[in-house]
Chains A and B, each alone.
Chain A
């Protein structure tokens, strides 16, 4: 079970997250949507302390971290239970695709090179890049890089995978392949928390949609109810806006 309770975060006095409370069951796929600048990315970044919350607790399984008192070892432990997929891929530029996958397995998890390489082979096949393992990120397309980024997170066997707008920086031609990979991953019932603007995709894969506005969770519902019968006026206004522009 993953629980976030009373999470607050401000940047330079401006509150970005206000008292966020959110539970995610194992195997649940939750999609966060909402207008730009409402703290969706910050929420994800606070879950693994890439941004340190001002207050609140983050609990993953039996590990509970109180932001006000979080120690360095606790933060590391939390990060080791999560995987993060970045909007700009953020692949290690000095590592090949394969090494991007094995790096944390060897350095952080202490696996042997042999075992890590076996995992990398499996992952490279799953992300459809079996023949590009020795390529450096600079030689890969945006879509390929993001697939490696997802593969790197998959390899960690994390209890929760966080996706921070994984297709927003991609050229339109590469969005499909990345969404396909995420669909495949969602089918395995990997616990996922996804921030995205891809509404159709959200509707397909989500068990639950969380709508955020101005740093608060405004509405939570299964996708059908959320898209077809939204309750909060802010949700309705947002959905009208995004469907109008399509």
Chain B
């Protein structure tokens, strides 16, 4: 086995790092939309609006039941053939859409479980002071469910950061796509993909650090 070409790797690092903002942009945007959508889906699953509940269950079933890659191809290559207004969709938009829908389905289930885990007394106290269902959810139930769901949701976010690499299959030159291009030019595949792996790893470690801080923040109401 020949030695690693460290000079090449060091030179490649800044090139690839310049793609980190795009990766984070896709992940953060996708996460923001996914959180909102998941919260709505979860509340619906708890309240069970007739008819709507059926659609929500179908939605969750489909987006959990099919691979993200297949969904991305459907949005990017498939849907524009059927829906004219999607003809100009770019790879980044399609990726964010796919990440949002895919992960919201998973996150909805963990938020739903967290909502159901909030003690009955909290619901009753909110009802007793005359809150509407919306106020009760926003002000009392969801904040407490968030604390329970946070570790799982951060896990999904970590997964989402890594899943942005699939954008490369839609022709987006992001972190993974750039590494692929560089490697194809230099034939130093191992070095190039090692650098890209290291970058993802460090990103995720940074997020895990953020996760611990977040949990401390969310637990402040429960610290004695």
Interface residues of A (CB under 8 A from B): 48, 50, 76-77, 79-80, 82-84, 86, 88-96, 103-104, 107-108, 136-139, 152, 156
Contact = CB atoms under 8 A, between A and B. Distances in A.
B125 A76 contact: no
Interface residues of B, number: 23
A138 B224 contact: yes
B117 interface: no
Interface in B134-185: 135, 139-140, 143-144, 147
Contacts of B140: 92, 94, 103
Given A138-B221, A138-B222, A139-B224, A103 B124 contact: no
B66 interface: no
B126 interface: yes
Contacts of B135: 107-108
A88 B124 CA distance: 11
Given A76-B132, A79-B129, A136 B121 contact: no
B129 A104 contact: yes
A53 B42 CA distance: 29
Interface string B48-88: 00000000000000000000000000000000000000000
B133 to A, nearest CB: 9
Contact of B127 (A50, A139, A152): A50
Nearest to A162: B128
A104 B144 CA distance: 17
Contacts of B127: 50, 79
Contacts, number: 72
Interface of B: 119, 121-122, 124-132, 135, 139-140, 143-144, 147, 220-224
Most chain A beta carbons < 10 A, residue from B132, B139, B223: B139
B129 A93 contact: no
Given A50-B124, A86-B121, A86-B124, A94 B221 contact: yes
A76 B127 CA distance: 8
Nearest to A106: B139
Given A136-B223, A139-B224, 15 more contacts: A48-B128, A50-B127, A79-B128, A83-B128, A84-B125, A84-B129, A86-B128, A92-B125, A92-B140, A94-B140, A103-B140, A104-B130, A138-B221, A138-B223, A139-B223
A91 to B, nearest CB: 7
A103 B127 CA distance: 12
B129 A103 contact: yes
Interface of A is mostly: loop
A95 B222 CA distance: 10
Cβ-closest 8 pairs across A and B? A104-B129, A90-B121, A80-B130, A84-B128, A90-B125, A79-B130, A136-B221, A108-B130
B212 to A, nearest CB: 20
A107 B131 contact: yes
Contacts of B126: 92
A92 B122 CA distance: 6
A76 B223 CA distance: 34
A83 B128 CA distance: 7
7 contacts: A90-B128, A94-B140, A103-B129, A103-B139, A137-B221, A139-B223, A156-B129
Contacts of A77: 130
A214 to B, nearest CB: 25
B131 A108 contact: yes
A93 B223 contact: no
B150 to A, nearest CB: 13
Contacts of A95: 221
Nearest to A104: B129
Contacts of B125: 84, 86, 90-92
A152 B129 contact: yes
A138 B124 CA distance: 18
Nearest to A136: B221
A118 to B, nearest CB: 19
Contact of B129 (A108, A137, A139): A108
